[in-house]
């Protein structure tokens, strides 16, 4: 997950307590009666250095014994949940049932992992991504995990966006931050739901000079996941220019990979400053270097 | 668990589909937001040959990775739940939240383990054992697991007994059964809650000639657990005679171990027939032999 890797790099170069990660929840799902927040968990586990580095999701040294039991009991088995990871979902569900908000639960879990930064869901309200396929709508996880994002889509809908309000602290963080970064995440289904929550897009537009986006598209492709394919399927250009067109109203600067140096002028034609650097975060040092470059670009954008 | 071992023996000597196990639920507890039914699970896992033979509870080849996470998250860690076992509690909780009754869920889980006998909770209503100690009341699991039943008790209360109704099929099974067995379980906190449910004691009294109890007390002690100590603390005699006094109104026959042959006359003085045999179920064959003896005693009691 590009956002989590970027965050890890960022925390290496600024005081962690100064960072607020505003995280997508439209990938959340309910399975086995448990509330699963994949993006929040990936961010939390990554920052806790507890993520499985090979899979990029879930916990390292994980076991899968409960899954075999779910299968025995006729419960869905297409969404893998590790035994340790299950405890996270159980505790989250328990606390939500007890009346806590998702941001309260998320803060509790982050504290338990000794995180010094703030991790906050974009909203405490229900927000769910559905994609339209030839054979009807699928929930995000049905599409992403169940079908391995191998079916073409013709539309995306964020259920609940009409009424979802930003979680406490989200608008304040966007108003007060020295720098705002749109992480190198899927613009459609990772950043898109954030922008669909009431007030977020306006808050970013208002801070546009301090907002830097990092392109998740490198040389027309995503390092991982269906971002490029989704952009194409939904009529966007699967390139840094396509990304610039999605972000130009809310971000002054787009950071693109060296592989896209030849498109920098095209990005600038879309009205964004373009910074060319290495964006492949293959190790923590590269993540930190990218974070430094992004912060400098934000300072430059803000005219400092 | 004596009842589960006895049941396993019974299923070896009669058609499994002819057996209904009516199981205590007053040991049930909620932990981590999950509904845990220890007695139902011990019966189900034992009959499925999936129980851990050393511990006598939980599943064999179990792992404990989720527990360490519960500890991290500040959840109670005094009640051990294995990773596979957790799936059972998750599925039970999910189905209860969806509106199923505990007996419906129990039947689903039993089918998933390919059990041919019927496993039914004594009641679908809330029934919970509390014990009185010098320092106030404790829930059963707080006493049994949390304190390792090492604190003296002065009373037992079955919360919910006023309104708990027998689960569907329970009274019918008691009315129609050829033989009824009170398994070698703790008379106070395992059999006691069954008798506290409206109609059960009367149903047994009505079938008294066909009811055979197996004493869980052998030579003044329980093979496992606090039965003898609880009997003493609550003013009963911790012996087969003490057991006879508790059961004589609802069972015609008490099966006691050879170690108690010298108390057979005393048991008969309490108004029960006494059958002396080996009751220590150290292997499945001994369980089966005991089951045959118990059925013969029931036939004899019923005058067949």
Calpha distance A205→A195 (Å, rounded):
11
The pLDDT mean for chain B works out to 96
What H or E segment, with its residue span, contains residue A130? Answer: strand A128-133
**Of the options 3.10.20.90, 1.10.260.40, 3.10.20.30, 1.10.8.240, the CATH number for the domain spanning B27-119:** 1.10.8.240
Considering CB atoms only, which of A32, A66, A88 is closest to B69?
A: A88
Answer for the pair B1, B55: CB distance below 8 angstroms, yes or no: no
Calpha distance B143→B188 (Å, rounded):
14
Task: Tell whether the model's pLDDT for residue B304 goes beyond 80.
Answer: no
Mutate to test the interface with A, among B66, B100, B108 (most CBs of A within 10 A): B66
How many CA within 13 A on the CB side of residue A165?
4
Calpha distance A63→A71 (Å, rounded):
15
Pairing relationship of beta strands A211-214 and A180-182 according to DSSP bridges: parallel
pTM: 0.94
Q: Residue B255 forms beta bridges with which residues?
A: B214, B275
- Is A84 in contact with B66 (Cβ distance < 8 A)? yes
pLDDT at B135: 87
Answer for the pair B160, B139: CB distance below 8 angstroms, yes or no: no
pLDDT at A208: 97
Answer for the pair A243, A213: CB distance below 8 angstroms, yes or no: yes
Calpha distance B149→B230 (Å, rounded):
9
pLDDT at A301: 79
Average pLDDT for consecutive 10-residue bins of chain A (304 residues)? 91 96 97 97 95 93 97 95 98 98 98 97 98 93 90 96 97 97 96 98 97 96 91 96 98 97 97 96 93 93 76
The SS3 call for residue B267 is helix
Q: Which pair of tokens denotes residue B204?
A: 């047994």
Task: Tell whether the model's pLDDT for residue B102 goes beyond 90.
Answer: yes
Considering CB atoms only, which of B32, B63, B94 is closest to A33?
A: B94
pLDDT at B300: 85
- Is B84 in contact with A69 (Cβ distance < 8 A)? yes
Q: Which of residues 98-117 of A touch B (CB under 8 A)?
A: 98, 108-109, 112-113
pLDDT at A291: 96
Mean pLDDT value across residues B99-117: 98
CATH of domain A22-121: 1.10.8.240
Considering CB atoms only, which of A32, A67, A87 is closest to B69?
A: A87
DSSP 8-state assignment for residue B253: E
Answer for the pair A214, A6: CB distance below 8 angstroms, yes or no: yes
CA distance A102 to chain B (A): 15
pLDDT at B185: 95
- The domain ranges of chain A are 22-121
pLDDT at B130: 97
**Residue among B197, B187, B202 at smallest CA distance from B158:** B197
pLDDT at B205: 98
Considering CB atoms only, which of A32, A72, A93 is closest to B112?
A: A72
Q: For residue A155, with 0-12 CB atoms within 10 Å meaning exposed, 13-18 middle and 19 or more buried, which class applies? A: exposed
Calpha distance B140→A147 (Å, rounded):
46
Calpha distance B224→A13 (Å, rounded):
59
Give the residue, B301 or A132, on which the prediction is more confident.
Answer: A132
**Does the CB of A63 have a partner CB in chain B at under 8 Å?**
yes
* DSSP assignments along B165-179, one per residue: -BPTTHHHHHHH-S-
Query: In percent, how much of chain B has pLDDT > 90?
Result: 91
Q: What is the pLDDT of residues B118-167, one digit of tens each?
A: 999 999 999 999 999 998 999 998 999 889 999 999 999 999 999 999 99
**Does the CB of B84 have a partner CB in chain A at under 8 Å?**
yes
**Does the CB of B147 have a partner CB in chain A at under 8 Å?**
no
Mean pLDDT value across residues B12-35: 97
Task: Tell whether the model's pLDDT for residue B14 goes beyond 80.
Answer: yes
Model ipTM value: 0.91
- Is B83 in contact with A83 (Cβ distance < 8 A)? yes
């Amino acid at each position: 997950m590009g956002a989590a890797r970027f965050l890890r790099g960022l925390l290496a170069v600024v005081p962690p307590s100064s960072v607020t990660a505003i995280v997508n929840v439209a990938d959340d799902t309910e399975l086995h009666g448990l509330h699963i927040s994949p993006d929040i968990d990936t961010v939390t586990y990554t920052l806790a250095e507890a993520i499985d580095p090979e899979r990029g999701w879930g916990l390292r040294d994980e076991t899968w014994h409960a899954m075999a039991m779910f299968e025995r009991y006729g419960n869905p088995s297409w969404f893998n949940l590790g035994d340790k990871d299950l405890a996270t979902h159980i505790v989250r569900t328990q606390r939500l049932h007890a009346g806590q908000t998702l941001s309260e639960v998320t803060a509790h879990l982050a504290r338990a992992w000794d995180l010094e930064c703030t991790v906050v869901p974009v909203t405490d309200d229900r927000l769910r991504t559905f994609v339209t396929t030839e054979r009807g709508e699928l929930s995000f996880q049905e599409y992403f995990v169940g079908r391995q994002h191998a079916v073409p889509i013709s539309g995306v809908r964020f259920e609940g966006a009409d009424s979802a309000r930003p979680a406490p602290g989200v608008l304040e963080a966007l108003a007060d931050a020295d720098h705002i970064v749109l992480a190198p995440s899927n613009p459609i289904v990772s950043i898109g739901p954030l922008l669909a929550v009431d007030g977020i897009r306006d808050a970013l537009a208002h801070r546009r000079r301090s907002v830097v986006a990092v392109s998740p598209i490198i040389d027309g492709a995503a390092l991982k996941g269906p971002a490029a394919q989704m952009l194409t399927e939904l009529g966007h250009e699967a390139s840094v220019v396509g990304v610039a067109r999605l972000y130009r109203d809310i971000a002054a600067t787009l950071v693109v990979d060296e592989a896209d140096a030849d498109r920098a002028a095209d990005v600038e034609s879309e009205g964004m400053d373009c910074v060319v650097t290495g964006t492949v975060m293959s190790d923590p040092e590269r993540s930190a270097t990218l974070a430094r470059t992004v912060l400098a670009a934000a300072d430059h954008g803000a005219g400092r």
